[in-house]
Amino acid sequence: MAPGEAAAAIMAHVDDPDDGRLRVLVGTDAPAQVFAALELRRRDYARDPRYPDAHA
C-alpha cells in the first residue's frame, strides 16, 4: 500500500463518526504484523505466574 493510500484509509477512519475503533488494520500485511506483535506480548505476559496462560 502506498503512503497516500494508507493516509487516506486512516483519514477515512478518523472521519467516520460511526466507527468507534481506536485501532484499525491498514495495509495488506497489517493483520500478520499485529498477530505477531500480540503473540510476542502474550509470551511476555505468560512469564508472570499471575497471567492465565502462565500455567498452560
> Could you read off the pLDDT of 28-53 as tens digits, one per residue?
999 999 999 999 999 999 999 998 87
Task: Report if residue 8 sits inside a domain.
Answer: no
Triad 27, 5, 26: Cα angle to 5°: 25
The average confidence (pLDDT) of the chain is: 92
Q: Classify the C-alpha dihedral 22-26-29-31 as positive or negative.
A: positive
pTM of the predicted protein model: 0.71
Task: Report if residue 7 sits inside a domain.
Answer: no
Give the H or E element holding residue 32. helix 30-46
pLDDT at 55 (0 to 100): 63
Range of the domain at 45: 25-56
What percent of the chain stands above pLDDT 70?
95
Answer whether 25's CB lies under 8 Å from 19's CB.
no
Task: Report if residue 45 sits inside a domain.
Answer: yes
Task: Report if residue 32 sits inside a domain.
Answer: yes
Task: Report if residue 51 sits inside a domain.
Answer: yes
Total structural domains within the chain: 1
Answer whether 11's CB lies under 8 Å from 20's CB.
no
